[in-house]
Chains A and B, each alone.
Chain A
Amino acid sequence: MKKAIFIGSVLMAVVVLQAYAQCNKTHYFCTASLSKEEQAEFWNLNNQSQSAMFAKGEVYEMSFIAYKGYDYRLSVCTDIAEGGDKIQFEMLQDEVVRVKDEYGNTNIKKTKESIYKNAEDGLKQSITFTTDKTKKIYVKVNIPSSGTSKDKALGKTDNVCVGVLLEHKEAASLGF
């Protein structure tokens, strides 16, 4: 009996690891939610794109560097089968300012400033942006709490695959 449980556990672990490996490419499928016109646009895959296995209802957060000189398109997706809720996501940036502390010393203070919430923009699953300075950007993705992963290995768990696809191209207005 113990042996059966052990073998079962090992098999389960292998299945979950395989699912995790598959999750690593979820971002490749994020263009599916784009319109035909958007899909036809030329963008380069940016290797800062990320995919991960995450529990439903949790918030996945990633950070990437957006260079001045590129335009970016950011898309989010999960592998939740059709019928699940749309994903809510938020983009933030570091707001860096100089402040004086109580001792009169000059400090650099960093806070995160929200720059986009798709909840306020019709729950669009992608956004294009450009920046006049190279910036560190954060993306927070609210994983829907309902729905089931298309991945058979994850189907019976609370986990799903989430992807953040980043694409770039030379900025139309290079140099601003």
Chain B
Amino acid sequence: MKNKNLILGAAAAFTVSMMVSCGGDGQEDVTNVVLDDTTQTVTEPEQPAVDYAVPTPNELFEIIKIQGGEQKVGLVNPLDNRSKYVETKTKAINFGIYSADLAYMSCFGIGTEFLMYFKAIEEMGTELGIEGAFDEELMGRIENNEGDTDSLFAISNETYYDSYLYLEENDKGVELCLIMAGGYIESLYIVCNLVDKYKEGDPIIEKIGDQKLVLENLLDFILQYSDDQSVSEIMDDLISLSEVFETSMEFEESGTSIDKGENNMLVLSGGGSYKMTKTALEKITAKVEELRANYTK
């Protein structure tokens, strides 16, 4: 992993410094990301045994809906494209893309095509050798719940998570990375396209900015499999996207506070963070559309 970091560092040192920042172990670890171009400090990473978790597309769509997001038609990857995905790499990426589509459709009540998308995912899963992730009774459950979007949302969430666990348990980390990357890109693509125009403080636009942190964890997760060429290639794509986040968003400093609220709930407030701007939204949308177009063509 260390070698991989150094190689990436030569190609995109700025971005690597951001990734390294996520890999630190212990409270004293510090990484500097230089904003001015004159100097750059990259701390050599230690190798902590940290498990990096990434929210599923379902979690993102659920909160987007809670915060007022409304469905739009024509955003999902058409099933007609499926026959184009022959190689393992494109098949795995598009398994992730169709899984995110399934989460979006079920969350926003677009139930009519759910079964067809689910069948496509199941078939692609078989072709990828992960048919064990699919419960034999699932198809029956879907047919029985057609029209019940809450149940379909729960099924799509379960399927994504079961696939994740199955891939982890069966040493299919490469496929897992590609699927997670595909799911991340598709989710971001859909959410970016749910926004008509920039408005400061729009919670959905904020959520797009929050995907910077999600991407950091995704990259840290993927890094462990980066010796594989397919993973390395998709990592380069994700790094180029993280660079867009990093350079187009505005850093906003703020002190942190930790309080106890009602029922002893810990309330975390403030802290330095990156803020979305009109330019950031445009650049992130353009980049994710470019990557998504490359994966689905």
Contacts and interface: CB of A to CB of B under 8 A. Distances in A.
Nearest to A18: B169
Given A60-B51, A110-B24, A168-B59, 15 more contacts: A24-B165, A46-B55, A96-B271, A101-B39, A106-B34, A108-B33, A110-B21, A110-B30, A111-B27, A113-B256, A129-B266, A132-B270, A133-B273, A136-B213, A174-B67
Interface in A114-137: 114-116, 127-136
B32 A128 contact: no
B50 interface: yes
A71 B265 CA distance: 9
Nearest to A41: B263
Interface of B: 21-22, 24-36, 38-39, 41, 48-56, 58-59, 63, 66-67, 157, 160-161, 164-165, 168-169, 203, 206-207, 210, 213-214, 216-217, 220, 251, 253, 256, 258, 261-273
Interface of A: 20-21, 24-25, 46-50, 52, 60-71, 92-99, 101, 103, 105-116, 127-136, 138, 166, 168, 170, 172, 174-176
Determine chain A's interface SS by DSSP, over half rule: strand
A112 B210 contact: no
**What does DSSP make chain B's interface, helix, strand, loop or mixed?**
mixed
Given A24-B165, A108-B251, A129-B267, A63 B63 contact: no
B272 A175 contact: no
Contacts of A176: 269
A111 B13 CA distance: 20
A136 to B, nearest CB: 5
B263 A128 contact: yes
24 contacts: A63-B50, A63-B52, A64-B55, A67-B63, A69-B66, A69-B67, A93-B256, A98-B253, A107-B32, A107-B41, A108-B32, A108-B251, A111-B27, A112-B27, A114-B27, A116-B258, A128-B263, A128-B265, A130-B261, A133-B271, A133-B273, A136-B22, A136-B216, A174-B67
